[in-house]
Amino acid sequence: MSTHSSQPTASEIATLSARAIAKGVASGVLSAEEVTEIWLERIAAVEPALRSFIHHAPEQARALAAVAPKGPLAGVPFGIKDVIDTADMPTEYGSAAYPGWQPCRDAPVVHLVRRAGAVVMGKTVSTEFATAAPGATVNPFDAARTPGGSSSGTAAALGAGLILMGLGTQTSGSTIRPAAYCGVAAMKPSPKLIETFGVKPLSATLDVVGPMARDVRDLALLVSVCMRRPELSPDELVPESVLPLKPMGLFLPVHDPVADFAPLDRAASVLGSVTAQVAPDWWEGLGVAQDDVFSWEASASLSVDRDLHWNELRSETHAFMERQQKGSFAQWQAGIAARDQALADLDALFGKADFLLTPSAPGEAPLGHARTGPATYNIRWTLLGCPSVTIPAGFGPAGMPVGIQLVARPGEDAALLRQAAAVEDALRAAGIEARPKSRAEGV
């Protein structure tokens, strides 16, 4: 049995990783209730300015902690995007059209996370229906800037240290981009590997659940639970030792004069064994293809909201819906065909590498809150079903966190996570990370 003197102090606990918390709670070295109180205090202090939760549930979190959770996520403070169904908390899908709506069951991915012992602190802010209209959340590193979206709340709460893990979703760039803007790690998995049931739907082809965490090893732990694959847990996949760094392609799309590639160049110079990769001629066209697939599918998925609840929806959502209404089945077919042709020619994209390094976003989080930033560097990977991970990679010229995106072929999620951990290790060894001690307090 552990003695009182061997237990870490509250300020020591506050610096622990999610995996260390979970091991401590599961083994009885840490008290889930003590852990929960530490994070509830931090939420109470920071949340009023950050506005990352749409529904914060301290009493429910205390009740979860009181049952001494077991499992690989035991006691980990957790946030769930408001577009994902929860049986014990309202799920408003970021919209005034669903006031106080209470689903009858957890989405399967929520159930898996709960069963693993996570302590859900609340529902985090989403743009309306995970599309265009932003919520009230600000960026934890600069309140004058967007946290990104649509998974705004999960990204901001992680960046500010109000939770240690959370769930987002992505149809265009809604997980990778906000994570990069908020200095945290996140994964867009290959399709079908994490159930999307119980998520407010946009596109059956594109929608994925996006696990988010503070670093890649914590991310691997969460992914292993969401995918029901214990072999992806950090102990199995990415032990805390030097990992071999495999060759990568450096993929810098050309047609973006406003993008800042300096963070990626800096990372690449540290990493070595990176070969510049030229975009195949079909690359640009995949942007239109993604939009065509999204438009046709979402105009069915959102048809109830558009037809019956138009007046309750935000003006940005109106604009989004009206644009998507112009999509056609023929365009959808063309988009799917473009995707399938690209998938048959994937070697032209990856070259001899198994991984590509590319920006997570065009730059740092933009100033203002009217928009959540462009998904330029995300939409094509989402269409292709290529898994990607955003890795915190230091700060940009405005002092805001930046991320780099590592991409693999569809289905290579395990190899991707392992390589991402090796990349993160190498960046940290070079002093490049988005969470230096002096910034860790956030907001």
Positions annotated as catalytic residues are: 81, 150, 174
Q: CA-CA distance, 191 to 212, in Å (whole number)?
A: 16
Residues between 224 and 253 with contacts to its own copies, criterion CB under 8 A? 227-229
Closest to 76 measured CA to CA, from 110, 37, 127, 25: 25
Please report whether residue 105 would count as binding its own copies according to CB under 8 A.
yes
Among 10, 41, 197, 325, binds its own copies (CB under 8 A): 197
Q: Which CB sits closer to its own copies, 329 or 431?
A: 329
Find the binder of its own copies among 106, 215, 218, 425 (CB under 8 A).
Answer: 106
Q: In the complex, what is the shortest distance from the CB of residue 267 to its own copies, in angstroms, rounded to a whole number?
A: 32
Choose, by CB under 8 A, the member of 79, 201, 374, 401 that binds its own copies.
201
- 192 is a site residue for its own copies (CB under 8 A): yes
Count the neighbouring beta carbons within 10 Å of the beta carbon of residue 231.
10
CB 204 → its own copies: shortest distance, Å?
Answer: 6
Identify which of residues 297 and 433 has a Cβ nearer to its own copies in the complex: 297
Q: Nearer to its own copies by C-beta: 109 or 222?
A: 109
According to CB under 8 A, which one of 10, 15, 49, 101 is a site residue for its own copies? 101
Count the neighbouring beta carbons within 10 Å of the beta carbon of residue 306.
Answer: 19
Q: How far apart are CA 219 and CA 187, in angstroms?
A: 8
**In this structure, which amino acid lies at residue 385?**
G
Q: Nearest to residue 390, comparing CAs of 178, 139, 244, 158?
A: 178
Q: Are 61 and 40 in contact (CB under 8 A)?
A: yes
Which of 296, 395 has the CB closer to its own copies? Answer: 296
Among 128, 297, 364, 433, binds its own copies (CB under 8 A): 297
Site size with its own copies, rule: CB under 8 A? 32
312 binds its own copies (CB under 8 A): no
The span from the CA of 21 to the CA of 26, in Å, is: 8
* Residue 275 or 303 having the CB closest to its own copies: 303
- Single-letter code of the amino acid located at 83: V
> What are the CA-CA distances from residue 106 to residues 53, 88, 152 (Å)?
18, 8, 21
As given in the structure block, the two tokens for residue 122 are: 């609340």
Contact between 175 and its own copies per CB under 8 A: no
Q: Do residues 224 and 113 lie in contact, with contact meaning Cβ atoms separated by under 8 Å? A: no
Coil/strand/helix, residue 328: coil
Question: Whole-angstrom Cα distance, residue 172 to residue 207?
Answer: 8
**Mask of contacts with its own copies, 320-349, x by CB under 8 A?**
---------x---x----------------
CB-count burial class (<10 Å; 0-12, 13-18, 19+) for 363: buried
Site residues for its own copies, 379-418, by CB under 8 A, read 411
Q: Can you state the percent helix, strand and coil of the chain, rounding each to 5?
A: 40, 15, 45
Sequence-ordered strand ranges (E) for 206-294: 208-213, 248-251, 274-277
Question: Residue 137 or residue 203: which is nearer to its own copies going by CB?
Answer: 203
Site string for its own copies, 12-31 (x = CB under 8 A): --------------------
Q: Closest distance between its own copies and the C-beta of residue 41, in Å?
A: 31
Q: Kindly tell me which of 23 and 418 has the beta carbon lying closer to its own copies.
A: 418
Match 């920006």 to its residue by tokens: 359
| CB of residue 372 to its own copies, shortest distance in Å | 24
Question: Alpha-carbon dihedral of residues 17, 413, 401, 285, nearest 10 degrees?
Answer: -170
Give min distance, CB of 343 to its own copies, in A.
Answer: 11
Residues that bind its own copies (CB under 8 A): 87, 98, 101, 104-106, 108-109, 111-112, 115, 192, 195-197, 201, 204-205, 227-229, 297, 299-301, 303-305, 307, 329, 333, 411
